[in-house]
Amino acid sequence: MSIREALRLKNYDCEVGGEKITLRRPSAMDMIEAVEFSKKDPNKFGAWLVYNHLIEDGTKMFQSVDDVLKCDGGVIAAIALEIDKLYGEGRD
């Protein structure tokens, strides 16, 4: 992970469960929305992260948080963990 890529909001390619995925890096507005959503519905926060940041061909992969909740929980948790790392990028 690179601070320059983070500042430019360059998409982040990684691998989860042997599959390559693309994540949209969080903006300052995403950070505000994340705090608000986590207070409103903390049990769905991981699904919100995936809904908001997992992209395919430049667009969101899911239409809603509820669509994400229909998927395998372990896979969603693993993807959410990768996204969470992007929120902490540049702190170290």
21, 13 in Cβ contact below 8 A?
A: yes
Any domain includes 92: no
Dump pLDDT digits (tens) for 44-74.
999 999 999 999 999 999 999 999 999 999 9
Instruction: Please state, for a pLDDT cut of 90, what percent of the chain lies above it.
Output: 84
53 domain-assigned:
yes
Say if 82 falls within a structural domain: yes
Q: Return the beta strands (E) in the chain as ranges.
A: 12-16, 19-23, 54-56, 59-60
**Which of helix, strand or coil describes residue 25?**
coil
Residue 11, domain CATH: 3.30.2220
| 72 within domain boundaries | yes
Residue 65 lies in a domain: yes
Structural domain includes residue 80: yes
Residue 69 lies in a domain: yes
Give how many domains the chain has, as a whole number: 1
